[in-house]
Amino acid sequence: MIPERIRRLKPYKTETSRAKVRLSSNELPYPVPEHLRKRIAEEIARVPFERYPDPTASELKEVLGEFFGVREENIVLGNGSDELIYYLSAVVGDVGGIYTPVPTFPMYEISADVMGRKKVTVPLTADFDIDLESSLGLADMYSLAYFAFPNNPTGNLFSRDRIRKIRERGVFVVLDEAYYHYSGETFLEDALRREDTAVLRTLSKIGMAGLRVGVLIAKEEVAREINKVRLPFNITYPSQVIAKVMLTEGREFIEESVEKVVTERERVFRELATIEGVEPFPSRANFILFRTPYPADAVHSRMLSYGVLVRDVSYMPRLERCLRVSVGRPEENDAFLEALYRSVRDLGQRFAG
Ligand SMILES: *Cc1c(COP(=O)(O)O)cnc(C)c1O
């Protein structure tokens, strides 16, 4: 009774290997400071767990509206943006397929499979931008398009102009701005003005991955419709309470941490380029994609033996011999650079001999 498209799905896998230095999931590397933890503990102690949480999470939405500079009417909350991607794929452009450039974040394709919608995947150009000609050539086949902006795992921003040209074909475009705080680039104005554009943001990459809070921003008329399919209590009570404290009293901590990560990103990029045979790709996010001369799985396991976990993304189209590293604290980044240097040296000896 279970349809073939579901049987063919593979369970979503993340990196679970143990390692001293974990740089595989693009989390914020700085732990929440003690004074904030105390404040959160106080607030949590008051949560009446026996009650359902506020189904509209209105206090959290107010704080989020302030944080992102939008009105509450423009917001739909998800249990992570992953959940919002499911909602969008269920609701928007009912007929017609779903477009994604590849390689990109896997959830767009997974949501299309789950909802039984046709997938239109178009490989990126050699410099990881949208292949406009092929995308427009197939435009009759899709009504919804996802663009991670900046893209994961390549780290670059697609040309705005190419996204607009695809939208001009009557396609609803979703800009997944999970890394907005690291890029500073956004389609927010379009999302607030137009009925064919939505922006996704998340708290996951700015220190709150464990809370599972994703934010969809769209014109009120669009947000209202998507909100109808939202599961009623999808943001848990503790998450609502913790996110509120973090986004108000913790705002300085978040901003300072993001700034440190951006500074480190530039340093790690420069240092990567000095390792023989390693080619890093410029990034506007909190991770860096890089290519090495050797099979990525060999580099990955070698680095793990030195206590550093990164993500092997070489299974994705165009990314042969590529890995992705999240930017960590300075000492973690040093450990990463050292482990990569040694791994490349070890493998050089093995492959030469
Ligand atoms: C990490 C990431 C997300 C985050 O998803 P959450 O469910 O909010 O944790 C969304 N989109 C992209 C492109 C990402 O890289």
Q: What is the pLDDT of residues 38-55, one digit of tens each?
A: 999 999 999 998 999 988
3-state secondary structure of 233: coil
Q: Which of 76, 105, 147, 183 to mutate to test the pocket of ligand 1 (most atoms within 8 A of CB)?
A: 105
Averaged pLDDT, 195-219? 98
Task: Give me the pLDDT at residue 351, please.
Answer: 79
Q: In whole angstroms, give the CA distance from residue 52 to residue 295.
A: 50
Q: Residue 272: pLDDT above 90?
A: yes
Mean pLDDT of the chain: 96
Would you kindly state where each structural domain of the chain is located, as residue ranges?
Answer: 4-26+252-352, 47-248
How far does residue 60's CA lie from ligand 1's centre (Å)? 19
In this predicted structure, the answer to whether residue 12 has a pLDDT above a threshold of 90 is no
Q: Could you say which DSSP state residue 55 is in?
A: T
Residue nearest to atom 11 of ligand 1 (CA): 178
Q: Which amino acid is at 120?
A: V
- Is it the case that residue 13 has pLDDT exceeding 80? no
In this structure, what DSSP letter does residue 159 have? P
Q: For the residues 76-104, what does the mean pLDDT come to?
A: 96
Q: What is the mean pLDDT of residues 132-152?
A: 98
- State pLDDT tens for residues 309-349: 999 999 999 999 999 999 999 999 999 999 999 999 999 98
- Assigned architecture for domain 4-26+252-352: Alpha-Beta Complex (3.90)
Rounded to two decimals, the pTM is 0.96
What pLDDT score was predicted for residue 159? 98
- Least confident piece of the model among 10-24, 141-155, 241-255, 273-287: 10-24
DSSP-H helix ranges across the chain:
4-7, 34-45, 58-68, 81-91, 107-115, 132-137, 160-167, 180-183, 188-193, 220-229, 237-248, 251-273, 296-305, 330-352
Which helix (DSSP H) or strand (DSSP E) does residue 269 occupy? helix 251-273
What whole-number distance in Å separates Cα of residue 115 and Cα of residue 38? 42
Q: How much of the chain, in percent, has pLDDT values that exceed 90?
A: 92
67-81: average pLDDT? 97
Neighbour tally for 54: CB within 10 Å:
14
Domains 4-26+252-352 and 47-248 share a fold: no
- Greatest extent of the chain over all pairs of C-alpha atoms, in Å: 66
Distance 174 CA to ligand 1 centre (A): 13
Mutate to test the pocket of ligand 1, among 107, 199, 200, 212 (most ligand atoms within 8 A of CB): 107
Please choose from 12, 202, 213, 287 the residue to mutate so as to test ligand 1's pocket, defined by most ligand atoms within 8 A of CB.
Answer: 202
Q: Please say if the pLDDT value at position 15 is more than 80.
A: no
Alpha carbon separation from 88 to 76, 115, 160, 218, 234 (Å, rounded): 11, 10, 21, 11, 15
**Domain topology for 47-248:** Aspartate Aminotransferase; domain 2 (3.40.640)
- Counting Cα atoms < 13 Å in the Cβ hemisphere of 213 gives 23
Which atom of ligand 1 lies at the shortest distance from residue 83's CA?
A: 7
Measuring from atom 7 of ligand 1, which residue has the nearest CA? 80
Pocket of ligand 1 (CB under 6 A): 26, 80-82, 105, 148, 152, 176, 178, 202, 204-205, 209, 214
Using one digit for the tens of pLDDT, what is the confidence trace for 235-258? 999 999 999 999 999 999 999 999
